[in-house]
Chains A and B, each alone.
Chain A
Amino acid sequence: MTGSLLPLLVVVPLLGAALGALVPGGIARAMVVLSPVLTTAGGVALLVTHRDTPVLAHEVGGFIPGIAIPLVSDTFTAVMLTVTGLTTTACIVFALITGEARLRYFPTLVMMLSAGVNGALMTGDLFNLFVFIEVMLLPSYALIAMTGTWRRLGVGRLFVVINLVTSTILLVGIGLVYGVAGSVNMAVLTDMDADDPRFRLAVGVLLLALTVKAGVVPMHGWLPRAYPATSATVMALFSALHTKVAIYAVFRIHQTVLDGAAEWMTLLLVLFTLTMLVGAYGSLGERMIRRSLAWQMIAGVGYILVGVGIGTELGLAAGLFYMVHHILVMGSLLLSSGAIEHAYRTNQFVGLAGLMRREPVLAVIMALGMMSLIGFPPSSGFFGKVSLARAAADLDGFQLWLVFGALTVASIGTLLAMSRLWADVFWGPPMEEMPSRGRGRTEPPVVPEDTRMRLRTLVPAGALLLVSLAIFVVPGPLGEWCLQAADGLLDVTAYVESVTTS
């Protein structure tokens, strides 16, 4: 693969989106499956290419380097493209099975979303990052407004307002960076004096906006309210794409532009460990499967970003490894919950019971997914947490105790929350014999005795889980890629050289 093919990863989904709007029906649905498959294939091809050439860059439009908008790919980008492409494919297959993809503009919006995500992952220019994040968000607003329960209309406002305000802050940050540095090209910004207080303030504003979008405590409150109100498919898509793109940008900007400022380390570690703890225990207050999982998403953000907080090669690699694991497992759990909702029309704890006997396949998939989330073997979560702990062992004093303590206590929190979910949903009497069924205005519908899930609704969740299990059995290749990606973040010479000379 050569650099000049990189724009295709944005152009193909965008063209697909336009065609999907013009030619609805079967053709649009075929394209919406094909586009993330192509993204995944592109990601894998890039992974293979990056074994020999660490960085590929393309100056869009053939302008001279420094003026052109560069699209850059290194191992980090390639890993992210592969994983997000894979998860998007699973979500879309699920939408096809449940019939959600038949909504008129669903294929178009999803393809626009993936064009924005691919662009945001590849761009080497801060302003372009803002534009691609907006390209990703605009179809998301529409997806929230057209799927899910009636609550979505209220919650859609919350999502739009939060994202627009943080985008404005991001824009202010970009303006300040341009004012100080005279460029928004990340390769040029690596030459800036990272100790210049004005430059630090500008990049700090940027990072603030990105951490709100990522859902870092104490700016996390919008996420567990907004996401569960959409449909399970859209929530799985958002969980794999939105917060993860923001986290990707935090990794990239904090390491390459700011050289991983060391004196912020304690502050960052405190914030990120707090995110782990709040997310892990927040689930305990919820009575719906997807709301409970939304809090675990916040915990996951904490785990991933602790890798940035540690800032060593091992730390960054561990954070990246955890991100891959978290995207896959969260996707699997959310799509399982979607399968439950498709069959039983509810995901409230009070409406569900005894699913272990009733739906053995679902029980196996969700049990393994939850174990992965907690960090038990046999799952990718085990190596995710082990590698984070290994990286944290290089810290000393207060920071060491902080990260180790938080890793342990937060894992126990996740264990408690998942046990409660399991006890409420999978144990208990058969659903027809449940004594009291629901309270308030959203009383769950009565389930006929012969209602069962169709097995094919579980295929996407099962497929994502299998990838997670495969990572447990063969963690080597992913570990290698993560280390290579961390090297690329720490040593930016290849990145800069590739962008400024191609």
Chain B
Amino acid sequence: MTVLPISIGILVAGGVYLLCQPGMVRIVFGITLLSHGANLVLLASGVSAWRGEPLTGTGDPADAADPLPMAFVLTAIVITLAVTIFMLALAMIGHDDDTLHMPDTGEDHRA
């Protein structure tokens, strides 16, 4: 199984490259790639070859896949998705640290 490590490597490399770029949207894409890499690491910690469904009554437990890494990945995907949406919102309303432009948030900036 060399496909999985190579994909993880490519995803992490791409994620780190994008994280080092200016601009929030690129950073968000970078984090998305990085978290996919992390999800594959989690999947790889179970048995990565094809196995039976991990449901009771569908076969021999010895042939079933490990359900725990899948549960981990599912939780991680949900969390990352929520934060990604928040970061995209920040990319819209925020301003870069390098600029002096104040965003119009409808409040007194001096406070």
B-binding residues in A (CB < 8 A): 127, 130-131, 134, 138, 141-142, 145, 149-150, 153-158, 160-161, 164-165, 167-169, 171-172, 174-176, 178-179, 345, 441-442, 445
Contact = CB atoms under 8 A, between A and B. Distances in A.
A168 B38 contact: yes
Closest 5 CB pairs of A and B: A179-B45, A153-B94, A175-B42, A175-B41, A178-B45
Contacts of A174: 42, 72
19 contacts: A127-B75, A131-B75, A138-B79, A138-B82, A141-B86, A150-B103, A150-B109, A153-B105, A156-B94, A157-B94, A160-B83, A161-B87, A164-B83, A168-B34, A168-B80, A172-B38, A172-B41, A175-B38, A441-B100
A150 B45 contact: no
A134 B39 CA distance: 16
Q: Is the interface of B mostly helix, strand, loop or mixed?
A: helix
A94 to B, nearest CB: 17
B63 interface: no
Given A157-B24, A174-B42, 16 more contacts: A150-B107, A150-B109, A153-B93, A153-B95, A157-B27, A160-B83, A164-B83, A168-B31, A168-B34, A171-B39, A172-B42, A175-B41, A175-B45, A176-B45, A178-B42, A178-B46
Contacts of B45: 175-176, 178-179
A149 B111 contact: yes
A154 B22 CA distance: 13
A442 B102 CA distance: 12
A174 B38 CA distance: 10
Contacts of B46: 178
Contacts of A445: 110
Given A150-B109, A153-B103, A345-B111, A164 B31 contact: yes
A178 B76 CA distance: 15
B100 A175 contact: no
Contacts of B55: none
B69 interface: yes
Contacts of B19: 161, 165
Contacts of A164: 31, 35, 80, 83, 87
A474 B107 CA distance: 48
- What interface size band does chain B fall in? 35 or more
Interface in B9-48: 19, 24, 27, 31, 34-35, 37-39, 41-42, 44-46
Contacts, number: 99
B42 A160 contact: no
A164 B29 CA distance: 13
A164 to B, nearest CB: 5
Q: Is the interface of A mostly helix, strand, loop or mixed?
A: helix
A445 B109 CA distance: 12
Given A138-B82, A138-B83, A161 B109 contact: no
A131 B82 CA distance: 13
A149 B105 CA distance: 11
Contacts of A179: 44-45
Nearest to B34: A168
Which of B45, B76, B95, B100 has most chain A Cβ within 10 Å? B45
Contacts of A131: 75, 79
Given A157-B24, A164-B83, A178-B69, A145 B44 contact: no
Interface in B52-68: 68
Contacts of B68: 178
A206 to B, nearest CB: 13
Which of B90, B95, B96, B103 has most chain A Cβ within 10 Å? B90
A377 B37 CA distance: 51
Contacts of A165: 19, 31, 34
A142 B44 CA distance: 33
A8 B77 CA distance: 27
A204 to B, nearest CB: 15
Nearest to B84: A164
Given A161-B87, A171-B42, A154 B95 contact: yes
B106 to A, nearest CB: 11
Nearest to A142: B86
Nearest to A167: B79
A441 B45 CA distance: 53
Nearest to B79: A134
A174 B96 CA distance: 33
A174 B100 CA distance: 41
A153 B90 contact: yes
B31 to A, nearest CB: 6
A150 B72 contact: no
A145 B94 CA distance: 9
Contact of A156 (B35, B39, B75, B90): B90
Nearest to B82: A138
A177 to B, nearest CB: 8
Contacts of A176: 41, 45
A257 B75 CA distance: 24
